Amino acid sequence: MGDLAKDINSKFENNRVKAMLNIIYTANWITSCQNEFFKDYGISPQQYNILRILKGAGEPLNVQIIKDRMLERSPNATRLMDKLCAKNYIERLPSAHDRRVVKIAITKEGIALLESIPKNFNKDLLKNLNEKEAEQLSDLLDKMR
C-alpha cells in the first residue's frame, strides 16, 4: 500500500497539507498510467475523452461544448481535435449559414476505436478500494470542490 510520506520522502505540517499533496501526487500517477495505456491506441487520455463526449452526444457538437464537457479543461482542445481529425477519428462540419460555426462529429473509425478499448481499463487503478471506499472517496472529493 502506498505511503505518500515515504514515496516523496517528506513530512507534512498537517493532514490538510498531506491530503492536498496526496491528491496532486495521485492525479499525476493516474495520468501517467492512462498515458501509458492509451499509447497502444495512438491517442491520449484527453483525446479519448473527446471521442467519448462525441459518441455520447449522438450528434455533432461545437468546440466550446466539447471543451465544457471535458474532464480536463484543456486550452489545447483544438490541437487535440486537429490530431483526431488527421487520424480520421473525427470530422469538422462547417455551417452552411455561418462559416465561423464548425461542429465536430465522431467518424465510424472513431467509434470503432472506442469499441476496441476495454471499458474497464481504469479498474486496476482502483483495485485496492472496495465499492464503499470508492463511494466515500468520491463523496469527499465532491465535498472538497
Task: Evaluate whether residue 93 is within a structural domain.
Answer: yes
Task: Evaluate whether residue 86 is within a structural domain.
Answer: yes
The confidence score (pLDDT) of residue 32 equals 93
Task: Evaluate whether residue 90 is within a structural domain.
Answer: yes
Number of domains in the chain: 1
Task: Evaluate whether residue 58 is within a structural domain.
Answer: yes
The boundaries of the domain holding residue 66 are: 42-116
pLDDT band at 5 (very low <50, low <70, confident <90, very high): low
Name the residue among 102, 96, 97, 65 with its Cα closest to residue 82: 102
The percentage of residues in the chain with a pLDDT greater than 70, rounded to a whole number, is 97
CATH number for the domain including 103?
A: 1.10.10.10
Q: What average pLDDT does this structure show over 31-57? A: 95
Task: Evaluate whether residue 18 is within a structural domain.
Answer: no
pLDDT band at 96 (very low <50, low <70, confident <90, very high): confident
Whole-structure pTM value: 0.83
Question: For all residues of the chain together, what is the average pLDDT?
Answer: 90
Question: Please, what sign has the CA dihedral across residues 68, 73, 76, 81?
Answer: negative
Task: Evaluate whether residue 64 is within a structural domain.
Answer: yes
- CA pair distance 90, 134, nearest whole angstrom: 33
Task: Evaluate whether residue 46 is within a structural domain.
Answer: yes
